[in-house]
């Protein structure tokens, strides 16, 4: 766990730390005051590299961070926070972004849930339209960009009603020939992560990975229930409860679209964000791979085979440990 910066610390003689607004295993996100631009608040994301890295690997990781941060700094979209600066200090890299005021969608959902209510479908779909605009922009770059950690807490609603997709911690740039480079190692948040993303950086993820997380996020927002993770769904394909069974007020159209986006295999999902958006808003939109509660007996190679091996190995280890404890 990185050592937290002290309140009042100043980075690069410019960014004065006010408080922590987020925290993870590889660093914190701080609210900071920009001393050069009076009155401007910004979010400073800290990334600490593995201390076991050799000097050569650390140098390569840092160069990669700077290359990709440069790409992020060129992005300009109303539903994305603007990346304005990046730098390194000792063992940490820092990414400076616009500070986005307002509540995140997870907070809004929890407020509704405590009142025994669901978020209005019309509101959630309006937010979905804004998120789709941001993802379409990212995916359509000359070097397509995947977010890889879409979830309710990474979606903030400003006082003016503008949705912002925040936290570029797991952003992946898709290079030609499906070679991938990743700003930060990581798999995303398990509850919203598709099956293929557990393969790490082996090149299996594409726009459909973000679409799965998009669908899982809408599922959570509209049902107040956390979606079952893909590892459990792999073991029991019928364990995902359709959202309309939890929230009967949902339209059949929204129910079908979400289940389509949350298919285990990428080939069964919408192939791009616009196809998913069309399914969310148009009753006549074709769903080319309709939701199936039972998959065929054919194993989805190579991802499902790998996951089955891991699951079996973990089960065996658990049994061995149980036997050892009983001796």
Give catalytic residues, as residue numbers: 149
Q: What is the 3-state secondary structure (H, E, C) of 92-156?
A: EEEEEEECCCCEEHHHHHHHHHHCCCCCCHHHHHHHHHHHHHHHHHHHCCCCCEECCCCCHHHEE
238 vs 233: CA distance, rounded Å:
7
* 144: nearest Cα among 167, 173, 115: 173
Q: Contact, 135 vs 214, CB < 8 A? A: yes
82 vs 34: CA distance, rounded Å:
14
Q: What angle do CA 103, 108, 113 make, to 5 degrees?
A: 155
Any residues with CB less than 8 A from the CB of 216 and at least 6 apart, and which?
151, 191, 192, 227, 261, 262
Residue 86's SS3 state is strand
264 vs 100: CA distance, rounded Å:
33
Q: Contact, 121 vs 250, CB < 8 A? A: yes
Quick one: DSSP state of residue 249?
T
Q: What is the 3-state secondary structure (H, E, C) of 5-51?
A: CCCCCEECCCEEEEEEEEEECCEEEEEEEECCCCCCEEEEEEEECCC
* 214: nearest Cα among 156, 304, 147, 157: 147
């Amino acid at each position: 766990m990185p050592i937290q910066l002290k309140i009042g610390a100043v980075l690069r003689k410019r960014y004065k730390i006010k408080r922590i607004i987020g925290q993870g295993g590889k660093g914190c996100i701080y609210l900071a005051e920009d001393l050069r631009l009076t009155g401007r608040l910004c979010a400073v994301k800290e990334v600490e590299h593995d201390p076991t890295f050799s000097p050569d690997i650390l140098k390569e990781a840092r160069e990669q961070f700077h290359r990709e941060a440069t790409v992020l700094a060129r992005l300009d979209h109303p539903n994305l926070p603007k990346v304005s600066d990046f730098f390194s200090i000792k063992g940490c890299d820092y990414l400076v972004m616009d500070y986005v005021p307002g509540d995140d969608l997870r907070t809004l959902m929890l407020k509704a849930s405590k009142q025994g209510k669901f978020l209005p479908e019309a509101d959630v779909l309006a937010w979905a339209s804004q998120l789709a605009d941001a993802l379409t922009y990212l995916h359509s770059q000359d070097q397509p960009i995947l977010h890889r950690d879409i979830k309710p807490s990474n979606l903030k609603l400003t006082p003016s009603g503008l949705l912002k997709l925040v936290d570029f911690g797991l952003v992946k740039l898709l290079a030609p020939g499906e070679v991938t480079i990743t700003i930060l190692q990581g798999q995303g948040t398990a509850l919203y992560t598709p099956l293929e993303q557990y393969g790490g950086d082996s090149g299996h993820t594409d726009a459909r990975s973000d679409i799965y997380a998009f669908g899982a996020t809408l599922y959570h927002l509209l049902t107040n229930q956390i979606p079952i993770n893909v590892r459990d769904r792999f073991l029991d394909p019928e364990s995902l409860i359709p959202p309309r069974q939890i929230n009967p007020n949902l339209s059949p159209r929204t129910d079908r679209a979400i289940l389509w986006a949350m298919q285990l295999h990428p080939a069964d999902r919408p192939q791009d964000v616009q196809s998913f958006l069309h399914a969310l808003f148009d009753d006549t939109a074709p769903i080319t791979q309709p939701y199936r509660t039972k998959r065929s007996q054919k194993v989805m190679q190579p991802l499902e085979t790998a996951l089955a091996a891991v699951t079996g190995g973990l089960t065996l280890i658990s049994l061995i440990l149980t036997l050892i404890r009983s001796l």
